[in-house]
Amino acid sequence: MTDKPDLIYLDYAATTPVDPRVVATMSGLLELAGDFANPSAVHLAGRRSSAHVANAAEQLAALLHVQPDRLIWTSGATESNNLAIIGAARARQHRGQHLITMPTEHKAVTDVFRALERQGFDVTWLLPDERGALDIDALEAAFRDDTQLVSIMHVNNETGLIQDIARIGESCRRRDVLFHVDAAQSVGKLPIDLGQLPVDLASMTAHKLYGPKGIGGLYIADRSGCHIEPLMFGGGQQRRLRPGTLAVHLIAGFGRAAEIAGTSLVEDLEHLTSLRDQLWAGICDVPGVRLNGDIDNSFPGILNASVADIEGESLLLALEPLCVATGSACNSQNQEPSYVLRALGRSDAEVQSAIRFSFGRQTRHEDIVVAIRRYRSAVSKLRDLAPVLAA
């Protein structure tokens, strides 16, 4: 087996390493000597496992400022998005079948709405402005008497842009329209008070906040008319909304990750902001560079930039050993150009050359120094090669 190269990981928007404190919490829940039992069991071992689930719900609820009984455990944000959107659409379809979203949502949202369109639902796709933001006036104009659900993500996974979910939610509440938020990129990273925000359904996942893969959550507000239908059946777990044996070790890991995020939120944001500003200051004067998004209204853990006359895949390879992305993680392997940047009005060349840098707790300022040097060098070398390749 060959030695691993000295990688510099700048793809935290795709996934994060599991915090060692989270690993320690999970490791004690897998073997006979630990609390490994099925939490549905009524015997002592089952009750011990159930206690870990309840504790994790308390930890995640504290981060979100909600009651623990408003949370449903899922396998991740993709399942949470499916459960929320399809579940709500079906539960309210007797009142109307009009839904609203944006083409810049994650695939785990856009593909769900396209599936609902094939089932007879009517979806309005609201275009963003050039920064990626939703125009509230356009949303207001899109509402109809039969509108039942709006789904808008909090932090865009490609550009980091933050949507004004408070204003969007207020518009929905005035019309008794359910508001779903894909909060996979914001839970544990930005202050979120779901107890105060006019949000009815919120999807989240552990692996974006230094927890394990394979576990997520769905928040369901406690208010009249906020109901969803289950997508799976079999067993009475979780109020029959998401049945199945609970993965105690993953849930406990999610809870611990949420607890850690709550105590380090301010420090994390300060660190990420300094890294983002350092990187942008180091590459913004590269000829032809253009920021994708809005640096004044974005999550500082993500910076997306295009550069003229450069092909993205070649740039990605030239940047190694930097681990960065050319688009969202779910699109990177099929080499599709970013549909998010296309929706922002970027040209084909700008879309093809886009690189997403994303940072985390373990990212060092020394890593950014290397990233700046590698980016500038890669762009220069590829431009020198371009005339040769064209010939």
Give alpha helix (H) positions in the chain: 20-27, 44-64, 77-91, 107-118, 136-142, 165-174, 248-283, 312-318, 339-343, 348-352, 365-390
What is the radius of gyration, based on Cα positions, of the chain?
22
On the CB side of 325, CA atoms within 13 Å amount to 27
* Residue 74: both structure tokens together: 């899922």
* Residue 70: both structure tokens together: 């408003």
| d(C-alpha 281, C-alpha 295), whole Å | 12
Task: List CB contacts of 361: < 8 A, sequence separation 6 or more.
Answer: 210, 264, 268, 271
Report the candidate in 320, 273, 339, 302 with the shortest Cα–Cα distance to residue 107.
339
The C-alpha torsion from 64 through 66 and 72 to 78, rounded to 10°, is: -30
* Residue 63: both structure tokens together: 């981060």
| d(C-alpha 229, C-alpha 85), whole Å | 10
- Integer angstrom CA distances of residue 69 from 48, 114, 118, 258: 19, 31, 34, 16
Say if residues 60 and 255 touch (Cβ distance below 8 Å): yes
Residue of 226, 284, 323, 330 marked active site: 330
| d(C-alpha 368, C-alpha 356), whole Å | 14
Q: Is 172 a catalytic residue?
A: no
| d(C-alpha 181, C-alpha 201), whole Å | 6
Between strands 302-307 and 355-358, the pairing is antiparallel
Q: At what angle do helices 248-283 and 365-390 cross, to 10 degrees?
A: 60
| d(C-alpha 324, C-alpha 104), whole Å | 20
Task: List CB contacts of 178: < 8 A, sequence separation 6 or more.
Answer: 88, 92, 148, 149, 150, 172, 200, 201, 225, 226
CA angle 146, 150, 152 (to 5 degrees): 165
Catalytic center residues: 330
